[in-house]
Structures are given as C-alpha cells and as structure tokens.
A and B are shown apart, each in its own frame.
Chain A
Amino acid sequence: MNYFPWLTIVIVLPIVGGSLIFLFPHKGNKVIRSYTICICLLDLLLTTYAFYYHFELDDPLIQLTENYKWINFFDFYWRFGIDGLSLGPILLTGFITTLATLAAQPVTRESKFFYFLMLAMYSGQIGPFSSRDILLFFIMWELELIPVYLLLSMWGGKKRLYSATKFILYTAGSSVFLLMGILGIGLYGSNEPTLNFELLTNQSYPVALEIIFYIGFLIAFAVKSPIIPLHTWLPDTHGEAHYSTCMLLAGILLKMGAYGLVRINMELLSRAHSIFCPWLMLLGSFQIIYAASTSLGQLNLKKRIAYSSVSHMGFLIIGIGSISDTGLNGAILQIISHGFIGAALFFLAGTSYDRLRLLYLDEMGGMAIPMPKIFTVFTILSMASLALPGMSGFVAELIVFWGIITSQKYLLITKILITFITAIGMILTPIYLLSILRQMFYGYKLFNTPNSYFFDSGPRELFISISILIPVIGIGIYPDFILSFSANKVEAILANFL
C-alpha cells in the first residue's frame, strides 16, 4: 500500500547525519550541538509522522514492511517492519534520545565524536526494535554496543575504564549466546537458512532443543534487561557514565532486553516459555526485593538509582512470565513508563552531581534551598518511581499485579506467594527513594566550599524535566493511550499459548 521506505530512512538518517558531523569546520560546539538536535528532532518527527499516517492500530500484523535482499547466498534480507509491540519502544527511543542529546549540551570534550556517537546510538536503538530479520536484529543489537562502550570509556567518571570493560565483556559475552541461538534457530530443519521472523513463528522444534535455545536467548536478554544474577554491570556502568549516556542506558537499552524476551522468547519459543515462566516470575519477584534492599545499602546516588532500575525491571519479568493478557500489557506499559522515569531520575542525579560534585549521599544535604526546582522535580519523579497513583509507574505496576491475579496458568498458592513477595517491594521502594530525597535535599548544610553558590536548573534542564514529566503524568491519567498500541499484538502473541 505504501512503498516509501519509512523505517529505513528513520534508521539510517541519524547515523548518516552523524557521520556528516566530521565534515564540519572547527567552529565551536554550538553548530554541532544544534545540528545534532535538529537531526534528532527531524528523525523523531519523521517517525511520528510515519506512524501516525501509515500505521493502523487495529491491525496486529506487521506494517510498514520493507524487504530488500542484501546477501544472496544465505537469504539475508534488509527487512524491517513494525507492529504494536515495537511502536511504543521506537517512539520512546526517539523521545529519550532527543532529550539526552539536549541534556548532553555541557559536554565539550571531543564534542564532534560525542554527538556522532549519540546519533549512532539513535540508529542502533531503533534498529533492533524494528528489524524483522533475526540476523539483522543481531547486527543492530551489536551496533549499539560500540557507541555505549565508547561513550562510557571516554566521557565517564573516574573508574570509567573498569566499568566500560565490564560492560563490553558482559554484553559481548551475552551476544555469543544470542548469536548461537539465532544461528541455531535459523539453521534448524531446512536446507536453507530461515531468518525471517514470520516464518520462524510457525516453526516448531523438539522440546529439548527449544529449551536449549530458550536458555541461550534468556541469558542474552537477561544481561541486557538485567535479570539477577547478571546485573552487576549495570550499577557500575550507570555509576560512571555521563548522565546523557545513563539516560539512554536506563531509558532504552534496558528495554531492549525485555523487548527481546517478548519478541523472541515468547513469540518464537512459546512452548519453552510456558515451561520457564513460573521460574521467571519467581525470579522477577525475588529481583524486586533483592535489588530494592541492595539499593538501600548503597551510598552512591547513581548506583542507588541504578539498583532501583534493576528492581523495577522485576515487574517486567513478572509481567512477561505471567502469560496473561493483562500482565503482558502491564509489562509493555512498564517498558515505556520506566523508560521515562529512569531516564529522568538519572538526568536529575547527573545535573545535581554537576553542581555539587558529590556522589555520596551522606555528604550531601540541604540542597532544597539553593535548588528548589530540582528539588520539586526530583520529588515528583521519586513519587512516580515509587508508583504513586496518577503517574505511569502506578498503572504499570497495578496492571502487572492484575496480570498475576488473573493469570489462568497458576495455582492460587503460587499467585498469593508471588503477589505477596512483589508487594513487599512496594514497601522497600519508598524507603530508598525517600531516603535519597531526605539525604540530598532535606535538612540544612553550610557549604564551606569556596564555590558555594549553586544555580538552580536553567530553562534547558527545566524543559527536559517537564517534557519527561508530561508523558509520565499523561500515561498515569490515561494509560489507554499506550495500551492501545499493543493490545492487539499482545492478544496475537498470547494466542500461541492457548
């Protein structure tokens, strides 16, 4: 119906536009900055336009498809397409990446390279969400690792090399499993490799083989998502990275793991998934408590928020494991919701770090008076993160709870157990978030440093925080907006399990 290659343009535009940065004359950062933001905005607008006019929400099938043969001899296609599942994450990517680029304005060192990497990330993030060829998915998946590694190792904090190495080792190690799984799936059965998602959905495997594939993919996505015990790269990475990178990491990269779980583990390997899902749910509820209580023991602000991300990812896993319509919808809503909240929290932590140059909570205090705006926004976002009603986090968590309750698959005892454990997280979450607030902002402190005058957030930072707050509250009040994206697709996925 429509043969204009929207997705290709959306994916290729940022990286091509980014490589043009190197042709710019050395005339200061201003030009580069505004150019990058223009590219980001253009891409976001293009995405929105394409989705608004050429995507039909009622249709659970793949839309905006593109199919170009790339490598002939093993049937490798440049194949893109989106459905309700990937619509939300792609829009989220566009939104968060644009804001992260805006947030990264204070970066002046090697700014050309920095902005190129940001734009490369843009492409690398949209890529996996929209590819319909499993090998292409892998390539795009890998594509986004390199910019993160470089962003981390060049613009990070003191221990940046350690964390960058850890990050790349973890993710590259997981990619091995991903690649093996993909090759296994692709080469199974027929003479010719099948890499197309549509064909793979209908393929069936022997149970043992399916379980092996499932474990492989699970490890790959568990590192990214992260699922305990493969999460330790995350606090280090987040603790060291520049906050714009953190926004990307928390906002989008973590969601790729969850997306992969739904896209591959649920859609392609449904039989193994129904074997594994009770364990996934248990793992998820345990993760919520474990990460929340670990977060309590942290003194480093960024690491504390990082652990809170890990804790919130537990809801995703539970939602995916619940195999119910509601639960999966909740998980998808949580992807979007945490994308906003996590990114905003890291942004605020970063901006206050820029002012205070302190990372440890016990050294801070009394910042509410010099920085009332940051205080306000931080309070609102902490509330959003601890699932205050009226914000997106609450709706997502509530729907996940609903998913557990209404799930047909489990016995009553299991449901009670999992609900109970998960709900304990509800008590732990406010403890660490409000302690952050208390230790950072409440009380009073005389700053003896010579440079004791703090700027409150300026218009740019205020703009970023408000533009994240609006969707957070918007989704909280009207969640149907996000749910309507994926409702049909979720039904289609769950039809496999009946």
Chain B
Amino acid sequence: MEYTYQSSWIIPFVPFPVPILIGIGLILFPTSTKNLRRMWAFPSIFLLIIVMIFSVDLSIHQVNKSSIYQYVWSWTINNDLSLEFGYLIDSLTSIMSILITTVGILVLIYSDNYMSHDQGYLRFFAYMTLFNISMLGLVTSSNLIQIYIFWELVGMCSYLLIGFWFTRPIAANSCQKAFVTNRVGDFGLLLGILGIYWITGSLEFQDLFQIFNNLIYKNEVNIFFVTMCTLLLFCGSVAKSAQFPLHIWLPDAMEGPTPISALIHAATMVAAGIFLIARLLPLFIVLPPVMNGIAFIGIITVVLGATLAIAQKDIKKNLAYSTMSQLGYMMLALGMGSYRIALFHLITHAYSKALLFLGSGSIIHSMEAIVGYSPDKSQNMVLMGGLTKHVPITKTFFLIGTLSLCGIPPFACFWSKDEILNDSWLYSPIFAIIACSTAGLTAFYMFRIYLLVFEGYFNVHFLNFNGKKNSSFYSISLWGKEGRKKKRKINLLVLLRMKNNEMTSFLFKKTYLHKIHRNVKNITRLFFHSTKMGTIKTVSLYPHESDNSMRFSMLVLVLFTLFVGTIGISFNQKGMDSEDILSKLLIPFIDLLHENSKKIADWYEFFTNATFSVIITFFGMFLASFFYKPVYSSLKSLNLLNFFEKKSLTKRIFSDKIINIIYGWSYNRGYVNTFYETFLIGNVRKLAKFNYFFDRQVIDGIPNAIGLTSFFMGESIKYAGGGRISSYILFFIIFILIFLIIGYSLFIY
C-alpha cells in the first residue's frame, strides 16, 4: 500500500508519451503518422485505463483508511524562494482522478468514432491526452503554485480544443474569449496565491491551513486583506467554473467538438473550480463572509443559467447553460459548507452531463449527414424533432440523462440535488426557495430539449412548415427574437397551390412561416411528401443511429448514471451506523449545517423532502410538455387550449409580453454579453486606440519634431550659407542698416 502511494507521482505522467509521440510524428513524418492514425487511439486509451486502475486502487485504500499522503521535491532552490513540486493523495484526489479517467476513457472511445473522418484526428487525440495529463496533475498537486501551473495548462488545452476547427471564425473568436476570460480568473488566482503566501509564508496546503487558522484565531492579520485574498482565489474558480460574472465563455466554448464539450466543458475542467474551492475549504471556512459570497454567487449562477437555458435553439448551448446552472448548485453547496454534497453532485452531474453531451453528439453526428456540417444547422433544435423513430437507442440514453439531471428518483442526480435542496432549507429559506424553483426550471428546459429533439416530426424537410409553435395562442418562437415580431397568417390555399420548386426556394427563406395558423398542421403530412421529392438529394433522408463504439461509451455512462448515486446514499438500516462510501472517503469532511443536528437519515424526512422536490420537477416537466408538446398529440388538448384562448384578449397580450421578455432575456444571454461588449471591450479598444495615438503622436512626436526642426534649421542655414555673393551682400547691407538705425536712435537720445 505504501508502495502504491509512493509511486502515485506517476499518475499524471502515464499518458505523457502519447502527445509527445504524436507531436514528433506529426512534425517529422506527417504522412506516415497520418496513415497510422487510428492506431494512436489505442495507446491513449490504454494508458488512461492504467491510470484509472491506479486511481481506483488508491481510492479503495482511501475508503479503508483515509489518509493523506504527500511527497515533495524541490523545484527551484534559492534563498528566499523554494518552490516545490510534489503530489498529494487524499480522498478528494482519488475521487477526482477516478472521475477524470473514467469520463476521459469513455470520451476517447467515443471520439475515436466521432472524429474518425476529421482531418485533425491525431491532433485531437494529442490535445485530449494533454488535457487529461494536466487535469490529473491539477488534482494531484500539493501546493498552490502547482495548482496554478496546471490550472493554466488546463485552460490552454481548453483553448486549443475550442479552437480545434480553426477555419471557423466563430470558433476562433470563442477560443480567444474563453482563454481571456479564464485569464481574468487566473489573474485573481495568482494575486490570491501571492497574497496568501505573503500572509502565511507557505504554499503547502497542510501548513497553509494550519498557519492560516492560527492567524485568524489569534487575530493577527488584517481581516480585510485576508478576505480580499480569499476572494481573489475564489475569482479563479469563478472563471473556470463559469460562475456568474465570468460565465460568458462557457456557451461559446461549445464551438469545439462535442466530445470536448462532454469531457472538458461539462465533466472535468469546469469542475476544477469546484475542486479548488473544495481543496481550499479550510481556508474559506474560517471566513463566514466569504462563504456567504460563494453561496451568493452560486445561487445567482443557478438562476441565471437556468433562465438562459430556456430559449436557446442550439442544443449544445442549451446544455452548456444547464451545466452552468448545475455548477451553481455545487458552488452553492460549497458556500453552505456542505463539502460532501458538493462533491457528490459534482460526480453525479459529471456522469449525467457527459451522457447528455455524448447523446447530443450522437444526434449532431446523425444530423450532420443530412443538414450539412454547419453548427448552425446540425445543432439547431428547430431542425430536429421526431428523432425517436430514427435514433431509438440514443433517445433512450438521452432520456435517462435528462431524467437524471431533472432529479427523478432512481437516477444519480436526484440523490445529490435533493441533498443540496435539503441543506439549502437549513441554510436560508430564500436561497432554498430560489433553488427549488430553479429545480423546476431545470426540468422545464431539459424536457424542452428532449421534446424538441425527439418528439414530433423530423423538421428538416419542411423547416418552415413545421407544426411547432404555430398556434396563435403563444407567440413563443424557437427563434427567440423573432417571436416578438408580428405574426403572419398565411392563406392556406396559397400554400396548397404552391409548386414544388417554389416551395424549395421558399424553404430557405427565413420567413416567419413557422407561425402559420394552427390549421396548417393538419396538412403537414401532405406537405412532407411533396417537399421530400423537391429538396432532398442526399443519400439518407433520415438520421442514422450512431456506431457501436459511440453507443458503447454512452451505455457505460448510462450505467454510471444509474448507479453512481449509490455511493452517496446512506444505507443505515437496522440502526447500524454505516455511512455511505462517499462519507467514508471524505472522513474529515466539513459540514457546517449538520454540526448540531445529528445526522440521521430518517426515511420519513427523506421521503417528504424527496417528494417535494420531485413534485417540483414534475411540475416543470408538465409545463414543458404543455408548451412544447408536438402538434399531433396536442390536438387532444385542443379544447384546453381553446379554453385558455377564449380568455380576454388583453390578458393574453399581457402574458405574451411577459413571455416575450423572458425569451428575449434568455435569447440574448441575459444581456451580459452585450454589457461586456459595450462597456469593457469597447473601452479597452478605445484605450488601445488612444494609446496608439498617444504613442505615435506625442511620445514619438517629440523626437520627430526635433528632427524636423533641426532639418529645417539645417536647410535654412545651408540656404543662407549657400555661397551666393548677392545674398551675402544682402545680409551685409541689412545688418548695416539695422546697426545704423540703432546707432541713430541712440544718437538721438
């Protein structure tokens, strides 16, 4: 066992040969390396499996006997500065490394298929492995500087992978945005680290916590300065975990390939911020205002993410906002001091969200063959619909992921989310109300995705004539903004009379035809056949189910989603005080809220709480199905709709307005982006312009002016002394005249 710990420094280094060999191969022997490209997937997966076995072994040790193992080497030795490298193995590390490796392996298997036709297949694997290395390094690091180093490396990998398809201008913009936003966080992190070092004189976690707590208890430090430093540290994880003010990069990060979104932007890297807070929790916990701040940021993010998710039309962006919201839950849990639950939710969410992303990747993959490779089309939920028939397996998997994320009992996220909601009641009722209602919202937007994608008809072939949202009852449009515009009613006869050719051209106009009167939906089937002939020339009319390796990784994730909840469920039957695995792992776990009340997982209490949260969830699901139910089935509820519709017109307009406002807010990403663009970026641009001007005109102007004046002086002197006798005589006479005048005037006085 000791040996296992001793050799665990190797964890981050095991996959290291892969990116190096790929890099060397690509530079020196590009053709042969590219020919053998599929070969490269095996070593990267294999090495990661080794790491996984290793970390499973470590965590079994940790479950049996929770201990902290630390080892350091010195990196730079100086008199004042001794930076050390080392590794720290504790329960947190082992959990995180299992998480990273399992999701990593599955995503690698998945992307072998997903990326198989991509030009940059090898590059992709190199980046992915590099990311895994940095992430493993991050979780095993033993001091703050090491954390910072891997923190940045992870950010760089994310940059490279978001910009993976570098020919897309949007991807280029988003990867820069992601890096710069993360750099803002790193700025805070670095300053925080420096400040903490200045206060405590140490960087090792254990020493740091001890010294820090001593200082706080003895009241030897300026509390304001300490709070500032910890807030700056928190700033780092705000950026990385896409919390409120710095969340803007995450939705844009979806420009990267979908496996990346699953691994980096849903499961692991964005969890790094949570990890950092969890790691440094002893530091934060002695400062209650900071903890409150963390909880506050968490709850804002929860709400913001959930509200922004309700009107996205891009499936991946939608999932990204949901990730943001879930990360907010974790942050909230941390802010409440529930260390264990935050990590529990981190794990469950990672598997469920990875499953969802892989599922959406599978959908996108199958859509791409039909609508083309533009993310505007292949990820657009408007064009999807009715995929149940075509991709049944993916549908099942996706549904399981959705149910899990919504918090339906047997699935993973239910257990953790329920606990977070419970704890939030203990913490503060206001936060609890917000968190609970957001749980309903989560169910709403998740089911919105599910219904839009899998129910109804396949919309590509008649993108403007789909039955979705055509009822005049609500003006909500999938296209968000356009919903506000005036509805246009199309005469049914005109449509019927149209010829195929005309309709083809009609299809690609972005008109508002999708808001045709409800009657149209009765004849959509009719249209369907006519358009099919005219427009589609591709081989496949309908999306295909994805290949086995993709399904395999999704299947494993489904299993995780089903069963990972068990590690956090406490089975204390028969009065035995057996704790769940997670609590065993996190023996020194810090729990602010349960300090007083003995932790009895009373079944009754549990049931009441669970029922409450499940009811909220079902309410959200019901709302979603009410709004987004596919047309044909909504015919049944026509009476109900009509019943509502009969109500007074003014009321309807009012509710329409509210809905429009919500959709506008959501569609425009809460106007945060616009705000940054106008105020921050605009000002930086102005500053740059001004500086450039200043530099050119003022600072450079001085030497230029000196040069010019000396040039003119020289010229004039040259001209004056040019050797022309006439000019000499002229000067001579002028000066004589001047002297004469002076002499004369003197003489007069």
Contact = CB atoms under 8 A, between A and B. Distances in A.
Interface of A: 165-166, 169-170, 228-229, 231-232, 290, 293-298, 324-326, 329, 366, 368-369, 373, 376, 379, 383, 388-390, 394-395, 398-399, 401-402, 405-406, 415, 419-420, 423-424, 426-427, 430-431, 434-435, 437-438, 441-444, 462, 479-480, 483, 487, 491
A399 B187 contact: no
B103 to A, nearest CB: 24
Given A232-B700, A406-B80, A426-B187, A462 B27 contact: yes
Contacts of A166: 703, 707
Nearest to A445: B167
23 contacts: A169-B703, A170-B703, A293-B688, A294-B688, A294-B691, A296-B687, A326-B78, A329-B81, A379-B160, A388-B153, A389-B148, A390-B153, A394-B149, A398-B145, A401-B194, A402-B81, A415-B198, A423-B190, A426-B187, A431-B180, A444-B169, A479-B75, A480-B76
A438 B176 contact: yes
B545 interface: no
Nearest to B148: A389
Nearest to B686: A297
B176 A296 contact: no
- In this complex, which of A395, A405, A435 has the most chain B Cβ atoms within 10 angstroms of its Cβ? A405
Contacts of B152: 388-389, 394
A420 B188 CA distance: 10
A434 B166 CA distance: 13
A65 B668 CA distance: 71
Nearest to B681: A431
Contacts of A231: 699
Interface in B182-202: 183-184, 186-187, 190-191, 194, 197-198
A480 B190 CA distance: 22
A231 to B, nearest CB: 8
Interface of B: 27, 75-81, 145, 148-150, 152-153, 156, 159-160, 163, 166-169, 171-173, 175-176, 179-180, 183-184, 186-187, 190-191, 194, 197-198, 684-685, 687-695, 699-700, 703, 707
A388 B693 CA distance: 30
Contact of B699 (A232, A298, A443): A232
The secondary-structure label for the interface of chain B is helix
A438 B176 CA distance: 8
A364 B707 CA distance: 34
B699 A229 contact: yes
Contact of B81 (A297, A326, A368, A376): A326
A293 B190 contact: no
B77 to A, nearest CB: 7
A232 B687 contact: no
B425 to A, nearest CB: 40
A132 B55 CA distance: 58
Given A390-B153, A442-B166, A296 B187 contact: no
Nearest to B687: A293
A329 B78 contact: yes
Given A231-B699, A368-B166, 14 more contacts: A165-B707, A166-B707, A293-B691, A295-B688, A296-B691, A298-B692, A394-B149, A399-B76, A415-B198, A426-B186, A430-B179, A443-B167, A480-B75, A483-B76
A398 to B, nearest CB: 7
Contacts of B173: 438
Nearest to A373: B27
Nearest to B28: A462
Contact of B79 (A165, A427, A480, A491): A491
Contacts of A232: 695, 699-700, 703
B691 A427 contact: no
A395 B85 CA distance: 14
A427 B684 CA distance: 11
A423 B190 CA distance: 8
A334 to B, nearest CB: 14
Contact of B695 (A169, A294, A368, A419): A294
B691 to A, nearest CB: 4
A228 B694 CA distance: 12
Contacts of A430: 179-180, 183
B80 A325 contact: yes
A479 to B, nearest CB: 5
Contacts of A423: 187, 190-191
A479 B191 contact: no
A368 B167 contact: yes
Contacts of A390: 149, 153
B700 A290 contact: no
Nearest to A375: B166
B171 A442 contact: yes
A366 B190 CA distance: 34
B78 A443 contact: no
A290 B688 CA distance: 9
A444 B76 CA distance: 44
A51 B267 CA distance: 52
A415 B190 CA distance: 14
Contact of B169 (A368, A379, A427, A443): A443
Nearest to A395: B76
Best-buried of A169, A402, A424, A435 by chain B (most CB within 10 Å): A402
A41 to B, nearest CB: 23
A434 B179 CA distance: 9
A498 to B, nearest CB: 13
A383 B194 contact: no
A231 B81 CA distance: 33
Contacts of B684: 293, 296, 431
Given A326-B81, A431-B180, A424 B169 contact: no
Which 9 pairs between the two chains have the least Cβ-Cβ distance? A297-B692, A442-B172, A296-B688, A297-B688, A389-B149, A232-B700, A294-B691, A444-B167, A434-B176
B692 A441 contact: no
Contacts of B703: 166, 169-170, 232
Contacts of A329: 78, 81
Contact of B692 (A294, A368, A395): A294
Contacts of B689: 297
A390 B166 CA distance: 24
B670 to A, nearest CB: 23
Nearest to B186: A426
Nearest to A438: B172
A405 B699 contact: no
Contacts of A401: 190, 194
A104 B163 CA distance: 33
Nearest to A435: B176
A312 B676 CA distance: 27
A377 to B, nearest CB: 9
